[in-house]
Amino acid sequence: MLLSLAIYLEIRFATFGTDSKFLFTEECSRDLPAEEEADDPAPLAFLASHSKQVTVKAFMCARFIVLTAIMAGKVGMDSIRKCASTFAKRKGSSQDDVDIRGHWKGDSGGRTSTWYIDPEQPIVDAQVCGNFCVDGPVKYKFKEGAQVGPAFLAQHVCPHINAYFPAASKMAEMLGPALLWGCFDPVVSMGRVPARLVKKVKDAYEDC
């Protein structure tokens, strides 16, 4: 997921620049006054068009129709929540911790305390996120004395991402390691990462 996001954002910013207010589309109305950009209907129309295409390709395909017939009404959007929460529970997370990670608060019949407990609890968030990792969480660590570090990621691996997001967000440090790995992995670099991005990163690595 991080690799895919890093590839998309770096290529997108390199192609269209970092001035657009929209991260996932350039389908905006032309010559629109600056004060009206936020209310531009074009991105919403683009989203509606994409949703329609997904519906046709995913839910109208023969395999999905057969599956829904076999499951007899048991296939639905709640499966997304059910799968994630069940997986975390089986890995040892408590129901309370799963609720906090999902920022879920009952609309009715829930415990009163649920409305007052701060959902932003980083330790619980980290523990449950770690349980979500199928083969265990991964932590990148720079070797002592290596020329490759946070500055290298910001300047050479994902400079456009670094230019777009505030420094405090540390987006380059979060997405950079995944993209750096992708550029050097022989299978991933050939199949998923654009060649020009691979070349740029490898050239910078050779220089340092």
From first to last of the 208 residues of the chain, give the pLDDT tens digit.
899 999 999 998 998 887 776 777 665 555 555 555 556 777 778 888 888 998 899 888 898 888 888 887 677 666 667 777 888 888 888 887 777 776 665 555 455 555 555 656 677 777 888 888 888 887 778 888 888 889 999 999 999 999 999 888 999 999 999 999 999 999 999 989 999 999 999 999 999 8
Res 202: pLDDT: 96
Res 104: pLDDT: 61
Rounded to a whole number, what is the distance in angstroms from the first to the last CA of the chain? 28
Find the largest Cα–Cα distance for the chain: 62
Which of 93, 208, 61 lies closest to 148 in space, CA to CA? 208
- Rounded Cα distance, 158 and 72, in Å: 47
Tokens of 181: 């790995």
pTM over 0.75: no
- Rounded Cα distance, 21 and 197, in Å: 24
Per-domain residue ranges of the chain? 2-18+142-207, 42-71, 78-132
CA 98 to chain centre: 20
- Rounded Cα distance, 176 and 149, in Å: 10
Tokens of 105: 């608060």
Res 200: pLDDT: 95
Helices (H) and strands (E) in the chain, counts: 11, 0
Res 107: pLDDT: 57
Place of tokens 């996120």: 129
Res 163: pLDDT: 93
Place of tokens 């409305």: 115
- Rounded Cα distance, 197 and 14, in Å: 10
